[in-house]
Structure 1
């Protein structure tokens, strides 16, 4: 087999990159080790920045998003019972609530409509030749060992994927922080407790009231990393969530049986550079952010949006040297998003071992920002999303 760009991973980032390349007339093949049904079963983020919406618009994969997505012009901080509204219009743009599963489904449908090739349930993927000018993938599909020759390889296969591990030892610098807590999340078919997302700081721990639609809600509470999902009945979860909310929100909270319940660990992670030879990393293959800042999916989509524009310059514009700047440009946005996600996590969570002085300073920092229009605009601008990077 032969293609121009080989993409490893058929999550939303890989699928979006495939569509962007198709639109630019650049042939591509996506390989994915899981089944399409498994990919669609992943419960992930639901806050889309306007830049992500614009990219989905550009590939014709946003019709259902605009019909069913919920546009939010703000969110709430609940600080030890005190409610503070953050106006996203102060940052310039709103966000849209639309589940990652639905984004993936829409991109799968768009790719199928355009005849793009995606190979699912691919085993034993190996990447080679990226140090030269003839990269390739070896893999097994339907029991047949196959080689896919290409010009470039893009790894959109997540933190545990093969792409980053293909890069020789000593090439990448790793920056990481693992947080000593996780988020216990529950998905439920009840109306959201609030019209906008609520991020709650409380002495018992952080909580988040989120949503997927007007009738489906997603709630989280901070728990120690050693907690087990099996130890949390629905009743225990609802009692703990109520305890972390203000009385008015606790009274309005509608409970129900959980559709899904899981614990997600939190970490900050970045590798530099995000490319090696003819191999490029995007999304979780290159960086992970704690979900507090709602940046993970949006960063991945920004990565492939940038990369697609650079491939277009390389092929249509005759500027292959533009690709050498991918890592430099992508990392500018990645580190800004990392800083904001780390800040939101530090400010709103109960941190084990944190002394009383620092706890009070965190409260004072939030109060200082919330006391000024500029401070509120700074929070709104970061939450709504940083501009995508382009060539100077």
Structure 2
């Protein structure tokens, strides 16, 4: 098979890039090792920045998102019994959209068949070759039969554990990482949210988050040590802990129900540089991970895709090699700003095991400052709604 761009990874980043390139008349194929059903069964976050919403609008795939998504003009920080409202809409003139990552993926998948974007599911043993050259290729297997894709560029949208990042030589790359000493235990339930906006809570017993996927489906989290197991947390125990950490007002409005999904996700901050080597461009989790505090993961992948699509369109449309050369620096500039915001919000709202009275006093002072300062709230709101691309 021959194409112009081979995209590795059929999650939202890979599909989004595929649709953007396909719309510009650039030949591409998407390789995904899992089945479509497996991808749609994954539970992921769903707070969308303007950049993500804008790309779906640009593709004309925003109808269901606009019909079923929940526009949010703000969110809340809680500390004990205090609720600090960050009025994002008033401070920035913008808003975010609550719409599950699974739903974005479904919209992109459905449109792939309709628009003729070629997606190969079940592609096993994917390997990248000759990425230092102008004629790279990708090999994979379908039911044990080896296949080959010859292309001009490869886009690695295959996540943290995929083969794309590993193809970049160690001598030209650098990794930055912070592993956090806790994970987020999440519960998904078909119950109404306790608040119409998200609540990030810092409690003496630990962090909690009240979120939602729709007006009838709620997503809640608490932080737990990495030694904890999901089996240690029956639904009743988790609901009781959420009620304590979120505070009395949220608890009074909380509707309990059986979990339809429960899991523990470890937290880390990770950046890989450069995000482009030779004919390989990295997008999304293949190049960076953010803690879920602040909901930047999918949105960072979308901004990478925005930059990658611009660079590839410029190359194939105008033979502009400089746009390809600038991709990594442009993407990383926004990545690091998002990493800073996610790290700082994680540091503010969690109790770290090594912290003492001084660190706790600093959290209280910071929250006091945020509560009383429009400038501080504006800075948070600008980062939460998404910095410009």
Distance 2:359 2:350 in 1: 13
Name the TM-score, length of structure 1 as normaliser: 0.98
Equivalent residue, structure 2, for 1:219? 220
Preserved CA contact (<8 Å) 1:12 1:107: yes
Name the SS of the counterpart of 2:215 in structure 1: coil
RMSD, aligned CA: 0.8
Asked if 1:258 is matched to 2:256, the reply is: no
Shift, 1:367, TM fit: 1.5
Equivalent residue, structure 2, for 1:81? 81
Name the TM-score, length of structure 2 as normaliser: 0.99
| Cα deviations by residue, 1:2-41 (Å, 9 ceiling, x for unpaired) | 0000000000000000000011110100000000000111
Equivalent residue, structure 2, for 1:177? 178
Distance 2:85 2:369 in 1: 15
Equivalent residue, structure 2, for 1:40? 40
Name the SS of the counterpart of 2:170 in structure 1: coil
| Mapping for residues 44-193 of structure 1, pairs under 5 Å | 44-89=44-89, 90-193=91-194
Asked if 1:387 is matched to 2:379, the reply is: no
Shift, 1:370, TM fit: 2.4
Distance 1:347 1:306 in 2: 31
| Mapping for residues 227-306 of structure 1, pairs under 5 Å | 227-306=228-307
Name the SS of the counterpart of 1:64 in structure 2: helix
Equivalent residue, structure 2, for 1:201? 202
Name the SS of the counterpart of 1:291 in structure 2: coil
Shift, 1:92, TM fit: 3.0
Equivalent residue, structure 1, for 2:340? 339
| Cα deviations by residue, 1:325-346 (Å, 9 ceiling, x for unpaired) | 1110000100000000000000
Distance 1:373 1:93 in 2: 16
Equivalent residue, structure 1, for 2:6? 6
Name the SS of the counterpart of 2:222 in structure 1: strand
| Cα deviations by residue, 1:237-270 (Å, 9 ceiling, x for unpaired) | 0011011122121121100000000000000000
Distance 1:3 1:318 in 2: 17
Q: Give 5+ residue unaligned stretches, structure 2.
A: none
Distance 1:370 1:378 in 2: 13
| Cα deviations by residue, 1:95-114 (Å, 9 ceiling, x for unpaired) | 00000000000001111111
Name the SS of the counterpart of 1:179 in structure 2: strand
**How many pairs align?**
388
Distance 1:92 1:224 in 2: 38
Runs of 4 or more off by more than 6 Å in structure 1? Answer: none
Distance 1:312 1:353 in 2: 48
| Cα deviations by residue, 1:311-337 (Å, 9 ceiling, x for unpaired) | 111111231221011110000100000
| Cα deviations by residue, 1:274-332 (Å, 9 ceiling, x for unpaired) | 11110111100000000001100000011011110111111112312210111100001
Name the SS of the counterpart of 1:183 in structure 2: strand
Preserved CA contact (<8 Å) 1:210 1:217: yes
